[in-house]
Amino acid sequence: MEYRERELALKQEHFALYKEELRLKEKKMDQQFKLLSQQIALQHKQLELELAKHS
């Protein structure tokens, strides 16, 4: 019985670590998306300024 309890505890620990890894990956992806959005907005502003110069 003790073996089964230890096995279950290890599986639960593994699952908790897996969930934490997914959470961190999701957070990283969110940060990357925000950065890309900011870069696109900046490029858009730069293009608007270039167009304004030439009109």
- Residue ranges of the chain whose pLDDT lies below 50: none
Please give the Cα distance from 53 to 28 (Å, whole number): 38
User: The pTM is what?
Assistant: 0.69
Tell me, what DSSP letter sits at residue 1? Answer: -
Residue bearing tokens 């990283």: 28
Retrieve residue 46's tokens.
Answer: 């730069």
